[in-house]
Each structure stands twice: as C-alpha cells, then as structure tokens.
Structure 1
Amino acid sequence: MDQDSHRTAKAEQRLLDLCTKMLSGECSYIQGSRQIVDLCLRAGMAPNDPDRSTFVVIESETDDIPDEGVVKLWSVEAIKAKSEEWTETEVWAKKTGEQAAMNLQKRLFRQ
C-alpha cells in the first residue's frame, strides 16, 4: 500500500468511527460535522458529495458554537446561559445529519 492509499484508508477508518459514534450518541453531530467535512476529502470523496454537503451545512450553521475544548474555559454561568440554545441546535444537527451519517457508514462498511 502506497502512502496516499494509507492516508485514504486511515481517513476512511476515522470517518467510519466518527459516524458510528455520532449514530450511537457518543459524539455530538455539531462536533462530528466539523471533523467529517475534512475527513471526507481526505478519504477521496468529491467536495460536492451529497452526504459531505449535509455536514458542510451543519458546520456552517453552527460555527458560532464553540468547540468542546473552548467551552471548558467558559464560566458555569456562561455555559448555562447558552445550554438551551446549544441543545436545540444539536437536535437540529442530528435531525439534519443522521441520514448522511448512516449513508457514509454504509458506504464505508462496503469498502
């Protein structure tokens, strides 16, 4: 296996793992989408792949929500003030991205 094939296979495995975690509830759709957008390209998918495009939409619509690492730096009061909004947005992200995550998972299991 050449180096490019190895990178592609590694990206596909990370993508499969991430989709599985999102579908099982172990990973947020908001946080997962941010990784999936790049991983799809690394896995050799077209930039306009319909499943990838779904995660681009989620990423774009949630770019005002900080990453988990950044939230850890926030005060408890600030987190409480935003938690309801973030929960509602996560529900939307799951509803929007669940089918795309299932599609990617199916595609990657076949490979």
Structure 2
Amino acid sequence: MNEADGATVLVVDDLEANRYAMGAVLRRAGHLVVPSACAGDALIELDARLRSGALPDAALVDVGLPDMSGFELCRRIKAHPEIAAMPVVHFSAAAVTPRDRTRGLDSGAEA
C-alpha cells in the first residue's frame, strides 16, 4: 500500500515527539499524515483543505491541547456541516477515566 491508497489523517498534538511517533506509524501503514500542533492550527488547516477539496479522512486529536481542549476542537469540527462527517478519535495519556471517555463522545467524537 502506498500513500495514494491510504487515508489522509490529521494528527493534532502539541508535543512534537508524539506527532512524529504517531505520524511514523501511520505513514508506515501507507497513510498521508497532516500534523498540527494546536487546535487553532488544525482549524486553519481544515479550512484551507475544505477550500481545496482535500479534507482529511479522519482526525486523531489529543484532548490536552494548549489553546483549547480536544473536546472543544471536536465540537467545532462537528458543528461545521461540511466537515462534520469526518471521524474524530481522541487520545490522551492523562484523560483516561470513564468520565473523560464520555466527554469525548458527548463532544461528537467517534472514539
């Protein structure tokens, strides 16, 4: 499988090492990775990709971002009719309780 066959995945994490590690795994699996260091940058990227007709197939979003929570980023994505269908998956090393999982699902995330 090459990148042309794989999905385009937006990876949103404020830690460069995490973006690198997740991106490496996804690229090895044949996916195109669009890294973003914060929610604001991710929203700008999504707007630009919407205008160009090249939206990501999915977003992997850390819940602990510096400018807004991953939960709020998900709510904003899901509130936008043209990108709401894009699956959002939250991840976190710290927010792992059932309450955190519920917050993610309540914000519109698929997982």
Q: Which has the higher contact order (CA 8 A, sep 6+)?
A: 1
More helix by share: 1
Fold conserved (TM > 0.5)?
Answer: no
TM-score by length of 1: 0.28
Which entry has the higher C-alpha Rg, 1 or 2?
A: 1
TM-score by length of 2: 0.28
